[in-house]
Structure 1
């Protein structure tokens, strides 16, 4: 009998591929400043998500969430984190720092590991400790050479890691959770566009703005659905798809030049990820080979 493939893996692969190619779309929105792009992503995402929720009759589930303070508190926290993540990412991409953004998402899986230890009380083996140590060394090396903390990579890594952890620990459906998050962010987004936003006429072709909602909402729904079905550590491995595509775009398409120190930092983190992935594969094989108790 052919084993069933976990659908969560497929959801994660699609989500990370969309995120990996996202810089190409954001470049098209560049005539608008980063806060305007963020506001449009939130508002158009909300419209799309409301339509999906109505079509799928998620009203009762949404009412349960909004009347449960614990869930609303968690989703307010996750909404704040994902908004910070989006804003930092947009600033990085449209500022010509796609490679720096990709570094953040290369670091992110190892931040997931650290959060698993601190928050979920997961235990690390020797291989995982070596991997985390090497990645930390890479970040420290980069910070030393830059004369300060690498703000873009660390902001992206930590905001998305904590966001994913909150969503994993919050018992809400992927679509419902994202709808509530965007609804929380919608009022300040609309206020920004009305008070300080740039005229749409000065921005990109208007059909691109609704598309911003699609490329924002769909991968996040898929990511949240995958996080419920796939081990958190495995999600970290699948995430390599996104930053790999981003780095290819940065170097091959946008002509970003990385200094030797940046390549060295990438190298240390790639070695750390390779060690971590090897350890996971070996652990999985040992578990499969062990007789059932």
Structure 2
């Protein structure tokens, strides 16, 4: 899709705020599921996302790219890898909310851009400037501080940042727009999700149909998965990547505020130190990214 001629950066900022704002409020939404297992929620999220995205693709009349993926085993295999990564990330986030680890989840999303930089260096052989290297060093130092003082690694944060960072690394190498890509990913995961839901219903453990409220929540998970992605896709057509990168921090910031102020999680002093070191790293990363984007703009002028 191309941006409308009348599109403005302000519209892009508003769309970006909608996308990241919705993602940032997901802890509140998933906390409504109570004791429903994370696996069941994830299975319904996959199912209803596929249903909703099929409707969106039908309205946009964009089935051809979807069919082309399924005609290419190599491309489908690459999409399947991305699907496994994003599915794992979704499951970990839902589990973190249900088990009162939203602070750790928010730390994971703060770490994601720095993990992406590290992956770019290790996997793609990309070279980064001193500021970006220093940003990674601050993130590593923060993790070491938690390991030394608490005697444990932030496994949830590292796993979420790792799966999402790897997803971004592989996904950006696949020539598919975000909406089509997400539909194919959910279709790849759909047989596993349907199998889990059928087994859950047959064993009498399904929460779907147990009450109107919980059933509507499970169905709505598909819509709420797709809507912020659609807003994000529209924002990318109107904004520079550097602006989107800055807006990205709204997501984990909202999650952190919700965890502490609404969900009753406690932020220990040492965790505040860890977050502080990550925030310094992100500040350095943002400064370096803005500098690089200005250099590229001058070179292309």
Task: Check whether TM > 0.5.
Answer: yes
User: Is residue 109–residue 237 contact of structure 1 (8 Å, CA) maintained in 2?
Assistant: no
Q: Post-superposition shift, 1:292?
A: 6.8
SS in 2 for 1:207: helix
Equivalent of 1:200, from 205, 208, 215?
A: 208
For residues 109-158 of structure 1, what are the alpha-carbon distances to aligned partners after superposition, in whole Å with 9 as ceiling and x for unaligned? 10111122233433211111111100111012213333233111011101
Q: Measure how far apart 1:242 and its partner are.
A: 0.3
Counterpart check, 1:77 vs 2:70: no
Which digits, 9 at most, give the CA deviation of each residue in 1:22-42, with x for residues without a partner? 111101112311111111111
The aligned runs of 1:52-91 (5 Å cut-off) are: 52-91=56-95
* Conservation of the 8 A alpha-carbon contact between 1:43 and 1:190: yes
Give how far 1:287 is off.
Answer: 5.7
Answer yes or no: is the 8 Å Cα contact 1:108–1:236 preserved in 2: no
Q: 1:40 maps to which residue?
A: 44
Mapped to 2, the partners of 1:236 and 1:84 lie a distance apart of 23
Identify which of 158, 169, 173 aligns with 1:169: 173
- Establish whether residue 146 from structure 1 lines up as the match of residue 150 from structure 2: yes
Are 1:39 and 1:192, in contact at CA under 8 Å, matched by a contact in 2?
A: yes
Counterpart-to-counterpart distance in 2, 1:102 and 1:131? 18
Give the 3 Å change call, closer, same or farther, for CA 97–82 of structure 1 in structure 2: same
**Cα 1:191/1:3, change in 2 over 3 Å:** closer
- Alignment of structure 1 residues 252-267 onto 2, 5 Å: 252-267=261-276
Distance 1:186 1:275, change over 3 A: same
Note the C-alpha offset of 1:239: 1.9
The 8 Å contact of residues 48 and 214 in structure 1, kept in 2 or not, is answered as yes
Which sections of structure 1, spanning at least 5 residues, go unmatched?
none
Of residues 18, 26, 51, the one that matches 1:14 is 18
Q: Deviations over 1:172-212 (max 9, x none)?
A: 12222111110111111111112134232446432222211
Q: Give the alignment partner of residue 271 of structure 1, picking from 280, 286, 298.
A: 280
Distance 1:236 1:162, change over 3 A: farther
Measure, in 1, the Cα distance between the counterparts of 2:81 and 2:141.
30
Q: Structure 2: give runs of 5+ residues left out of the alignment.
A: 1-5
The size of the alignment, in residue pairs, is 291
CA spacing shift, 1:225–1:132, aligned 2, 3 Å: farther
C-alpha deviation, 1:56, in angstroms: 1.6
Q: 1:238 aligns with which of 228, 235, 247?
A: 247
CA distance in 2, matches of 1:60, 1:51: 14
Aligned with 1:155 (options 159, 162, 165): 159
Q: Does 1:247 align with 2:251?
A: no
1 CA distance for matches of 2:237 and 2:170? 12
**Partner deviation per Cα, 1:53-111 (whole Å, 9 max, x = no partner):** 11222222211110012210111001000110011001101111111110000111101
Q: For the structure 1 residues 71 and 7, does the alpha-carbon distance in structure 2 shift closer, same or farther, using more than 3 Å as the test? A: farther
**Alignment partners' CA distance in 2, 1:141 and 1:265:** 7
Match of 2:127 in 1: 123
The alpha carbon displacement at 1:167 in A equals 1.8
TM-score (norm 2): 0.86
When normalised by structure 1's length, the TM-score is 0.89
Q: How big is the shift at 1:17?
A: 1.5
